[in-house]
């Protein structure tokens, strides 16, 4: 479920939207001038999103390595040492 509230309303009534995100698993969208500005989500949702991002990054890295060839550990270490 999703709940939309203004940032001004959130400032005055933080407990309810936070509890909805934490305990009910709701996604709370904070709006500014009627437009979505910020999402308030529970930690489980954030962790799931981060895991999806990590999987996408890994897939992209594997594809790039396959298309462009790999880089040796020694070359990476040399690049890091030169910084």
Q: Where in the chain are the domains?
A: 2-41, 44-81
* Its pTM surpasses 0.85: no
Q: How far apart are CA 2 and CA 20, in angstroms?
A: 10
**Measured CA distances, 36 to 33, 65, 71 (Å):** 8, 37, 42
Q: Please tell me the predicted confidence (pLDDT) of residue 37.
A: 98
Phi and psi at 41, nearest 5°, equal -130, 160
Q: Please tell me the predicted confidence (pLDDT) of residue 77.
A: 87
Q: Please tell me the predicted confidence (pLDDT) of residue 17.
A: 96
Q: How far apart are CA 61 and CA 55, in angstroms?
A: 10
- CATH fold of 2-41 reads YefM-like fold (3.40.1620)
pLDDT > 90 in the chain, percent: 66
**pLDDT < 50 stretches in the chain:** none
Q: Which residue has the tokens 């001004």?
A: 8
Q: Please tell me the predicted confidence (pLDDT) of residue 56.
A: 92
Q: Which residue has the tokens 């396959």?
A: 66
């Amino acid at each position: 479920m999703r709940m939309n509230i203004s940032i001004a309303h959130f400032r005055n009534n933080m407990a309810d939207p936070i509890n909805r995100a934490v305990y009910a698993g709701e996604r709370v969208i904070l709006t500014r001038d009627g437009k979505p500005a910020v999402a308030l989500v529970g930690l489980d949702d954030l962790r799931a999103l981060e895991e999806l991002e990590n999987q996408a990054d890994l897939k992209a890295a594997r594809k790039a390595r396959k298309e462009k060839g790999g880089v040796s550990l020694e070359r990476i270490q040399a690049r890091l040492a030169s910084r």
